[in-house]
Amino acid sequence: MSFNRIQIFGYLGRDPELSYTPQGTAMCKFSVATTERRKNRESGDYEEQTTWFRCVAWGGAAERINEYFSKGSPIFVEGKMRVEEWTDREGAKRFSVEVNVSSWEFAGKSNDQQSNQSAQGNQGNQSGQAGAKTSGKQQQQRRGQQPPDEEIPF
């Protein structure tokens, strides 16, 4: 038996790109960055190493990711990983990792939400806070739906 599943918690590196196949299926492409701190053996200094993942979501998930997320938004995705090999213009072999997203979750507050909360201080009006892409939450609130939880415990 074999198993191909990847879980990623990271931040969107660019705004999601929503498109539709000729059959009308929604497809959303976005990139997620993860960062690790590692100690350099030679210098003893800590360095950050960032890994980028190209992600593709389909159907309703694609539309929701496009609506609620933007560059810098934290996200948790699960899916199947595929490594593609290709040749660049100089003839060098390159590899890229792509994740076919099977599920996703909101993962905390975006940097914009945190800075808005800090700026509001003790005013107590958190309903005026907005994420990097506020239209989705505003639309939900207009429809009378509860916005998704801002923090997911891990």
The confidence score (pLDDT) of residue 141 equals: 40
pTM for this entry:
0.64
Range(s) of the chain covered by CATH 2.40.50.140 = 6-108
Q: Which segments of the chain does DSSP mark as H helices, in order? A: 59-68, 111-120, 135-142
| pLDDT, mean of each 10-residue run, the chain (154 residues) | 92 96 96 92 90 94 95 95 90 90 84 42 34 43 43 46
Dist. CA 34–CA 53, nearest whole Å: 8
**Topology (CATH level 3) of domain 6-108:** OB fold (Dihydrolipoamide Acetyltransferase, E2P) (2.40.50)
Q: Which segments of 26-92 does DSSP mark as H helices, in order? A: 59-68
The confidence score (pLDDT) of residue 112 equals: 53
The confidence score (pLDDT) of residue 26 equals: 97
The confidence score (pLDDT) of residue 109 equals: 67
Residue type at position 43: S
